[in-house]
Structure formats: C-alpha cells, structure tokens
Amino acid sequence: MAGIPGLLFLLLLLLLCAVGQVSPYGAHWKPTWPTYRLPVVLPQSTLNLGKPDFGAEAKLEVSSSCGPQCHKGMPLPTYEEAKQYLSYETLYANGSRTETQVGIYVLSKGGGQESSGKSRRKRQIYGYDSRFSIFGKDFLLNYPFSTSVKLSTGCTGTLVAEKHVLTAAHCIHDGKTYVKGTQKLRVGFLKPKFKDGGRGANSSSSAVPEKMKFQWIRVKRTHVPKGWIKGNANDIGMDYDYALLELKKPHKRKFMKIGVSPPAKQLPGGRIHFSGYDNDRPGNLVYRFCDVKEETYDLLYQQCDAQPGASGSGVYVRMWKRQPRKWERKIIGIFSGHQWVDMNGSPQDFNVAVRITPLKYAQICYWIKGNYLDCREG
C-alpha cells in the first residue's frame, strides 16, 4: 500500500468513478451496480479531546445557497485537504470524545454560504404532495421500510449493519458542537402496539391502521467527519453531512448495505427513493421517490417532497448485482437539506442528498467493519 501524491490523487478521484461503468444499451440490459476500484481510508493517530457542552439546538434542516453550478466550480480537494475532511470525531456515551487523523491509500496491486434572511418554507412540497404514509405492520416491519429508524433528536436514520445507523451529521452536530440530547442519543424502532397484552389477533382483517410505538436502543458512539465540523454547511460543509451511529446492542433486523453512488444517468429511471419520519405526519413513516434533477461529485439535487424530520434518511436504489446475480437495494446517499439556488437569474429550490463517493464509502465501511479488507467492494 502506498500514499498518494497530490496531483496523482486528483486523477485517482476521477478514475475511481470510471471503473466498471456499464453502458445502458442492448436488448437485455439491466441497471447494474458498477464495479469500483476503491481507495483505503485508515486511522493514523488519535487524540483525546475535552468533553463537549452539548449546547446546540437540534436543526432538522440544513440550508445552503451554493447550488449545482457553485459546487461544480469548486476544485476537487487536494490529497492533504481530503485527509483533513475525512478525519473524524468520535463521541462516546460517557461524554468523552476523540479526534482521529486518517491516511488515504490505494492498493499497489490488485486491489455554500448560509441562506439569505428571506422567509422560506422549510422542506418544500412540490405541487401535489406525492408522499405515501406507510401503515400496517405487514409493511412497516418488512424490508425495505423496516430499515428506517427515528433518532431521539428528531431526525431519521437507516440501518446499514447489525449495530450501525447512517444519518445526517447535522442531526447530532451543528458544525460547532453537539446538539442537546446527543450524549443520551437513542434510536427508535417501530413496533406494533398491542392492547391488554394481546398479540394483535384479527388485526390483519381490520381496515383501521394499526397503532405503532417506538422501542428505543441507546447509542454507544458516533462518528462525524471533520469536513462537516470544519465546514458547517458553508461551501464544502454540506458535502460531508453524514454520521454513523453504533448501537449498544444489535437491532436484529434486516439492514440495507451502503454502496458507491453511480452517476444519475445510470440510476433506474434516473430516480431515487427514501423513507423518513416527516414532522407533519407524526408517528408515520413516509415513503417517496422522485427524479434526480442535477448532480455534482458530492451531491444529488432532487425535488422529492419532504418535511423536517426526514433529514438523515438513507437514499437508495435497486439495481442488478452481477454476483450473486440478483436485484439488490443499496444506500447511495443521505438526505440532507434544502437549497434555494440562483439558476440563470431566477431562484429555484431543491432538496439535496449527500452522495456516497468512493472515499466516503471507504470511510463509512471502515467505521462499520474495522478492517479495510472488508471494504473492497462498493
């Protein structure tokens, strides 16, 4: 394994996205997960930090005026900058925290600014409200809807491993410090609510939606990239609006794997899907899908209907996997926030998702697995 010089690093960022691209042509073509040659992100040193004050108010949305053209005009990070952004802070349940510096490697062989003061509606509904509330345990407790969980700070998260939840960084950290309640952060799982200790007999024949309740599991530790903490949603900040939570015990549910985000033109129908706990429908899990309107290296711009509370939802697609020859859903992004963008002199609004790039995949996968050899396939 070898470190990457600055100029070579910029070339590798582009090449990593070009390996294994599938041409959408041919009579029997299926939207297929591309094969990527992934980098390795490894811890180099860890420093103990003082305990945070947990004083920030929970923000259920993030806004930025830096739109697609603004982001496209930004240069790719240098090797040193990428190492800085992918270094991360870990918060433990006892309130202690550490900062870990990372190195970025390749296997040598085979392997914006804050919005203006104008009043805007939070989380747009674009025309007719196209969201679907998911009712009944036959849906809520089955995959893929069962992978959506609720954070005690008010956001949504997605199960990505036996003990891990992927969410948005702003759900637990405002860019300066941790939000109130993060030290005792919990993750809620929807469960059927039975009366008088019953087991819900004849419930499937009822036309009335079943009552559901949350069962909560405490979080053991959280990881937040320094790109978010340093950027705070300005310029590069929103690119790193993601965090991983490790639970104190396994959740025992089927989870959805993460994957590297393919180009929008390779997504089935150019469309993404996600489910979240929108605040305007309390107690309901809300599913939606929509077309990707724009993309940059780090972000997907779309107009999926969403409200505060849906932040942190895992954005996923279903594509064909060559081995073991089956259809598979993967999380390719994290729903982040809302942007008003100046498009050729007229304001246009988008909802934004953070793309899982090869580097972000390598980082998040290492957080989950603890071994880069288990993170070679994106």
Residues annotated as catalytic (active site), given as ranges: 170, 235, 311
The CA-CA-CA angle for residues 326, 330, 336, to 5°, reads 165
| Separation of alpha carbons 18 and 271, rounded Å | 21
Taking Cα atoms as reference points, which of 258, 254, 243, 238 lies closest to residue 301?
Answer: 238
Question: Where do the H-state alpha helices sit in the chain?
Answer: 6-16, 68-72, 79-86, 137-140, 226-231, 358-369
Longest dimension (CA), the chain: 67
| Separation of alpha carbons 35 and 234, rounded Å | 32
For 4, 86, 101, the CA distances from 40, given in Å and listed in that order, are 11, 12, 14
Query: Which contiguous run of DSSP H or E holds residue 288?
Result: strand 285-295
Look at residue 82 and give its three-state secondary structure.
helix
- For residue 377, the one-letter residue type is E
Look at residue 262 and give its three-state secondary structure.
coil
For 262, 310, 335, the CA distances from 297, given in Å and listed in that order, are 10, 23, 15
Burial of 291-320, coded b for 16+ CB within 10 Å and e otherwise, reads: ebebbbbbbbbbbbbbbbbbbbbbbbbebe
Taking Cα atoms as reference points, which of 15, 274, 79 lies closest to residue 157?
Answer: 274
Query: Encoding tokens for residue 202?
Result: 């004849």
Query: Encoding tokens for residue 246?
Result: 């490790």
| Separation of alpha carbons 259 and 14, rounded Å | 17
**Going along 26-117, which residue ranges are E strands?**
40-49, 88-92, 97-106
